[in-house]
Structure 1
Amino acid sequence: MTEADAQRTLMIVEDDEAFARTLGRSFERRGYRVLHAANVDEAAALLPGLAPGEPGHAVVDLKLKGNSSGLACVQMLHQHDPTMLIVVLTGYASINTAVEAVKLGACQYLAKPSNTDDIEAAFEHVAGSSEVELTGRATSVKTLEWEHIHAVLAETEFNISEAARRLGMHRRTLARKLEKQRVK
């Protein structure tokens, strides 16, 4: 396998089988060789059989079923190959998880829904830009509350009861707040 072929290999770590299949087909039409893993253990099991520099790209869901963490997967993939371009996708976007994902080796962090064009653009835009426009608005209290809730959820591995306890609110109150945000 040539280095160019290795760079056109994409690993998708996603527990939603239908989404992973759709995303995989879309990338295959763009010339990528696609590998799929549903969790960190499956991703780790695929790595020993791959050529050096393969996969060149990875798309990792932040919240995987069971005890599998997308952040742990990002860390494991980055340790396998620090040059791999890793994009984290999530329906649970927060500043806290975005910062952690980048610290662990992700090159970009995208909120769902994101399509193949968004992901491929993220792979191509790995360098930061000082030209990003800064907003003049302060962050709203609702946004700050949501980010704090999400950070606690991430700390508790998305255990609603434990997160509610740490936040000092009833479990049903937290569930209603999450429903209003339409977290998927």
Structure 2
Amino acid sequence: MVHSPTLLLVDDDEVYCQVLSSALRKRGFNLLVAHNVKMALELVADAPPEYAVIDLNMPGDSGLVLVDQLNQLDDYIRIVVLTGYASIATAVEAIKLGATHYLAKPADADEIVAALGRQAGDMTTDVGEQRMSPRRLEWEHIQKVLVECDGNISAAARELGMHRRTLQRKLGKKPPRS
């Protein structure tokens, strides 16, 4: 009998979860699906999975909280963090907390499986010479301050010297490309 590794998929987008879980099952994974951190922790309380794919931005606790909790359950779990709101600050924090890899959405099942299997960094990755635009620099700075404030929007707004609603509006937009 062949062992199917267990993969925890956590994303608040239920349609995305259905599509991705079907694709991952076809690739040999036994799936556990949750739509928030609390639900995910309840699913894995007795037996941590070998793999996890976690959305970063969900209602309630962020995916970073779950990355930390899963690593406390099992040091060997391989975690890929997915996000539609990629930033340098959250990528660094995800890796520090124990994520194996960090991918920007949309990511397909093949990219995710490849990221789960990666054992080391890639020295041939193109560093690029394009500088960030002022809008992207602002986005990165906001993300850094938000991480430093443990995700507290009111505290981050005070730190940034802007109104809380203005910060919420900026966070609700997709990040600039470059």
Match of 1:75 among 68, 73, 80: 68
Q: For residue 136 of structure 1, give the secondary structure of its aligned residue in structure 2.
A: coil
SS in 1 for 2:58: coil
Kindly provide the amino acid, as one letter, of the partner of residue 17 in structure 2. A
Q: Distance in 2 between matches of 1:81 and 1:179?
A: 33
Give unpaired runs (5+ residues) of structure 2. Answer: none
Aligned CA distance change for structure 1 residues 159 and 75 (closer, same or farther; 3 Å): closer
Q: Is 1:65 the counterpart of 2:59 in the alignment?
A: yes
Measure, in 2, the Cα distance between the counterparts of 1:103 and 1:83.
Answer: 15
Query: What TM-score do you get using the length of structure 1 for normalisation?
Result: 0.80
Counterpart amino acid of 1:24? S
CA RMSD of aligned residues (A): 2.6
Residue 37 of structure 1 corresponds to: 34
1:13 aligns with 2:6: no
Specify whether residues 148 and 34 from structure 1 end up closer, same or farther in structure 2 by C-alpha distance, changes over 3 A only. same
Separation (CA, whole Å) in 1 of partners of 2:52 and 2:34: 11
Query: What is the aligned length?
Result: 176
Q: Would the aligned equivalents of 2:85 and 2:175 in 1 still touch at CA under 8 Å?
A: no
State whether structure 2 residue 53 is matched by structure 1 residue 56: no
- Match runs of 1:1-184 below 5 Å: 4-5=3-4, 8-50=5-47, 54-66=48-60, 68-155=61-148, 162-171=155-164, 173-174=166-167, 177-178=170-171, 181=174
What is the TM-score with the length of structure 2 in the denominator? 0.83
Segments of 5+ residues of structure 1 without an aligned counterpart are none
Check 1:149–1:128 CA distance in 2 against 1; reply closer, same or farther (3 A cut). same
